Structure 1
Amino acid sequence: MTEQFNINQFNCSISGKGSTLVWAHGLCGCMQSEDAIGLYAWHRFPKKLQLIRYDAIGHGLSAQGDSVDDYLWPNLAKDMLRVAAHYRAPTPLILGGQSMGSATSLYAALAQPELVKGLVLMTPPIGWQARAAQVDYYHKIAKAARILGGKGLAQMNAKHLTKMLPSWLVNAHKHSVLGMLDGLKSMKRQTLHQLFTAAAHNDLPSKQQLATINVPTLILAWEGDDAHPVASAKTLHKALPHSTLHVASKMDHVDEWPELISEFCLALQS
């Protein structure tokens, strides 16, 4: 049976021409929330490269998913590759994303290695044994989401931003950090329930799988974030054969990330 793909389900943004970076946001985020927090500086991304960004299924202005399966990372990876294929992005591609988006990129590289020439993994999510210890937490959030909805969760998270981001980043971006909740506010109860139920089932690829990803990989991590621990980034760095790791401990380090991403992509331009 042929799987159907409708690009109209996805809110997408395309700029520049040339070698392509396909970028995916994090859990409960969207393009709007990325722009609001102001860390990415996509307006400075080189115009001689093509940048494809999109809202994942159930996020931002994209359509809702039908089931928990739609939010499993291997299925989000299929969406990523289909978006790139629809816009006839020249292959091989550079794939990247933040948190959920970095997990999506890894699974896309495993699914279609011949289509990928580089990865950018920004604040990879918690994985493996440490993630297994969080399963009950994800189920609790799924139940809470069914009651509170996006607005309720956003209001709750606004009071505890340092549980979602490093305290030094929150202090440096007090004027814009609440923007990261913009995408969450409009999310539906059913979507959030499915999304966090999927989070309880999701995990990063095994070390054996990671060892087969034979492309240059840029890993960007930051200290002080339990949901995106440096330990996960270090494990990925050790497992991925051609990876470079940068760990930020202050805002000055994160301010360098847009340039690091641009330089990495330019170096891979064919």
Structure 2
Amino acid sequence: MTEQFNINQFNCSISGKGQALVWAHGLCGCMQSEDAIGVYAWHRFPKKLQLIRYDAIGHGLSTAGESVDDYLWPSLAKDMLRVAAHYQAPTPMILGGQSMGSATSLYAALANPQSIQGLILMTPPIAWQARANQVNYYYKIAKAARILGGKGLAQMNAKHLDKMLPRWLIDAHKHSVLGMLDGLKSMKCQTLSQLFTAAAQNDLPSKQQLASIRVPTLILAWQDDDAHPIETAIELEKALPNAKLHIANSMDDVDDWPELISDFCLALQQ
């Protein structure tokens, strides 16, 4: 059976021309929440490169998925490659994303290695045995989401931002950091329940699978974030044959990330 793909399901943003970076946001985020937090500085991304961003299924202004399977990382990887194909992104292209978006990028690279020239993995999510220890937590959030919905979860998370982001980043972005919850507020109970049920089932590829991804890879991690521990980033650097890891210990370090991303993409430009 031929799988159907409707680009109208996805809210997308395309700018620039040339070598393409296809970028995916994190769980319960969206393009709007990325722009609100003030870390990414996409407005400074080189115009001689093409930047393709989109709201993942069930997030932001994209339509909701039909089942838990739609939110599994290999499924999100298919969406990423289909969005890129629809906009005729020049290949080989660079894939990247934050947290869930970095997991999406890894699965996309495994699914279609010949079309990938590089990877950018920002704050990769907790993985492997450490993630297995969190499964019950994700199921609890899925249950709570059926009751609270997006607005309720956003209100709860607003009181515990230090469990989602490093304290030093929150302090540096006091006036904008709550904007990261904007995408969550509009999410429906069913979508959130399916998302966190999928989170309980998701995991990064095995280290044996990762060893087959030989393209240049930039890994960006930060300290003091239990959901995105530096241990995951360190293990990814070891498992990926051509990876370089940058660990941020302060806001000054994170402020360098947009330039690191741009320089990485420019270096791969054909």
Cα distance in structure 2, aligned partners of 1:115 and 1:4 = 21
Cα distance in structure 2, aligned partners of 1:268 and 1:188 = 40
Partner of 1:191: 191
Identity of aligned residues (%): 83
Cα distance in structure 2, aligned partners of 1:86 and 1:78 = 12
- Which digits, 9 at most, give the CA deviation of each residue in 1:83-117, with x for residues without a partner? 00000110001000000000000000000000100
The residue type paired with residue 176 of structure 2 is S
**1:166-177, aligned counterparts within 5 Å?**
166-177=166-177
How many aligned positions are there?
A: 270
Cα distance in structure 2, aligned partners of 1:175 and 1:57 = 28
In the superposition, the TM-score normalised over structure 1's length comes to 1.00
The residue type paired with residue 22 of structure 2 is V
The residue type paired with residue 266 of structure 2 is L
Partner of 1:43: 43
CA RMSD of aligned residues (A): 0.2
Partner of 1:148: 148
The residue type paired with residue 254 of structure 2 is V
Cα distance in structure 2, aligned partners of 1:214 and 1:134 = 30
Partner of 2:95: 95
Cα distance in structure 2, aligned partners of 1:169 and 1:90 = 35
Partner of 1:139: 139
C-alpha displacement of 1:29: 0.0
Cα distance in structure 2, aligned partners of 1:112 and 1:121 = 17
Partner of 2:109: 109
Structure 2 residues without counterparts, runs of 5 or longer: none
Structure 1 residues without counterparts, runs of 5 or longer: none
Cα distance in structure 2, aligned partners of 1:258 and 1:169 = 15
C-alpha displacement of 1:17: 0.2
Partner of 1:60: 60
Cα distance in structure 2, aligned partners of 1:54 and 1:172 = 27
Q: Find runs of 4+ consecutive structure 1 residues off by over 6 angstroms.
A: none
Cα distance in structure 1, aligned partners of 2:225 and 2:81 = 29
C-alpha displacement of 1:75: 0.3
Partner of 1:34: 34
Cα distance in structure 2, aligned partners of 1:169 and 1:145 = 26
Where 1:244 maps in the other structure, the secondary structure is strand
Cα distance in structure 2, aligned partners of 1:174 and 1:212 = 41
